Amino acid sequence: MTEYAFIPSTIEVTAAQRVRISVRNIGRTEHDFAPDQRGVALGLKHLHLAPGQAESFDWTAPADQAEVRIICTIVGHEGLGMVGRLVVRPGS
């Protein structure tokens, strides 16, 4: 995370895959990694990180295709373009 973007803006994972999601704030202000309601229901965490802070968590993608919107909930950051998505693609 940086001002005012997620890098990369899209995270793609394979259905039913176990992944480690690592989030690092390389910006100068605090930022959030905040999944939408579907993401929360799927077990994604809301992370609030100070500048220079990093956090990781393990997550298992759902068995079905899905798309989750990720935003920064700090006032004004979403409007400045701090929006990303996590896409679950079908397995092979």
**pLDDT at res. 40:** 96
Q: Does residue 79 surpass a pLDDT of 90?
A: yes
Quote the number of domains for the chain. 1
State how far the Cα of 15 lies from the Cα of 51, in Å rounded to an integer.
32
Q: Where are the alpha helices (DSSP H) in 20-72?
A: 37-41
Which residues span the domain enclosing 33? Answer: 10-89
**pLDDT at res. 23:** 97
Tens-digit pLDDT profile for residues 7-61: 999 999 999 999 999 999 999 999 999 999 999 999 999 999 999 999 999 999 9
Please check whether residue 64 lies inside any domain of the structure.
Answer: yes
For the chain, give the longest Cα–Cα distance.
Answer: 41
Of 55, 57, 62, 56, nearest to 17 by C-alpha is 62
Please check whether residue 29 lies inside any domain of the structure.
Answer: yes
**pLDDT at res. 91:** 79
Give the angle subtended at the CA of 65 by the CAs of 17 and 18, to the nearest 5°.
Answer: 10
- pTM of the entire structure? 0.90
Please check whether residue 1 lies inside any domain of the structure.
Answer: no
The enclosing domain of 61 has a CATH number of 2.60.40.420
